[in-house]
Amino acid sequence: MKNLIQRVITGIVFGVVLIGSIICSPFSFGLLFCLISAMATAEFCNLMNRQEGIEINRNLCVLGSTILFLCFFYYGIYPVQTGIFSIYLVVLIYLMIRELYLKKDNPLNNWAYAMLSQIYVGLPFALLNVLAFQDNGAYSAPQYVFIMPLSIFIFIWMNDTFAYFTGMLLGKHRLFERISPKKSWEGSIGGCVFCIGAAFVLAHFFPIMSTGLWVGLALVVVVFGTWGDLTESLMKRFLGIKDSGNILPGHGGLLDRFDSAIMAIPAAVFYLYIVSLF
């Protein structure tokens, strides 16, 4: 019971901070997710450095993720300033060159996991800026549309919550027993149905997209969010750990809380790009 209360309180505080920061202003949004990106990257590096033969520079990887997020954020506000991304390229180049001089036992592992910290953690959070800042044309400044990044988390939370309850009531057929024995097809379908319902609600209150596009976005988030969850479960199973960290009492680490988003965000960006072509 104590752990349940702790989980509920942490979940409420976490949700209020996240929703409030996204809705409040583009700068509160940028500050929060820049911080989350940095802390999640540090958490990832800590996990990797526990493994034999891996010695990646956590501070440098955190710096890389932070700069990448800020580059996308700045580009979202001033889309003509593409040169800012050259700053991030300097970090990537240095991550490669430094291994020439460190004389570590396995530089290939260090290269691989350092780059993975940027691709798996840094890039998805940076891409939130692509959702948040909508271009209104060549002669108009980009507009901050808070519902776009917020919708990703609404769909993820709806899917997780109702997949859990539906799975508890009806779950019989395992979705991916080798990696996550508790997930069921029935739960996934139930979560998907409620997400589609949420898409209709969002389409009514935020008609910036058609109902069909909102439903499509919900389905993309459900599918790729589930894969994101399973991907992190596979990583933790390989590492032999239960949680990625303990920063959120009762919920584990940041990677535990954002596992679905890490894959759903890039997929959502790709989906919106594809539908914009038609």
The C-alpha angle 75, 77, 81, rounded to 5 degrees, equals: 40
The pLDDT of residue 104 is 82
The structure's pTM equals 0.92
The pLDDT of residue 180 is 76
Q: What is the mean pLDDT of each run of 10 residues along the chain (278 residues)?
A: 69 90 96 97 94 90 96 84 83 90 86 95 96 74 91 95 84 76 83 95 95 97 94 90 80 89 97 87
Query: Measured between alpha carbons, how far is 17 from 249 in angstroms, rounded to an integer?
Result: 15
Query: Measured between alpha carbons, how far is 210 from 199 in angstroms, rounded to an integer?
Result: 10
Among the listed residues 210, 206, 230, the one whose alpha carbon sits nearest the alpha carbon of residue 154: 206
Among the listed residues 250, 1, 6, 18, the one whose alpha carbon sits nearest the alpha carbon of residue 152: 18
Q: What is the DSSP string of 150-185?
A: HHHHHHHHHHHHHHHHHHHHH--SEEETTTEEEEEH
Contact yes or no for 232/242 (Cβ under 8 A): no
| Alpha carbon of residue 13 to chain centroid | 19
Cross-strand pairs, 134: 143
Query: Measured between alpha carbons, how far is 66 from 60 in angstroms, rounded to an integer?
Result: 10
The pLDDT of residue 14 is 87
The pLDDT of residue 139 is 53
**For the chain, how many residues are written?**
278
Query: Measured between alpha carbons, how far is 95 from 64 in angstroms, rounded to an integer?
Result: 9
Contact yes or no for 200/188 (Cβ under 8 A): no
Among the listed residues 167, 170, 169, 191, the one whose alpha carbon sits nearest the alpha carbon of residue 180: 167
The pLDDT of residue 84 is 80
The C-alpha angle 216, 259, 30, rounded to 5 degrees, equals: 80
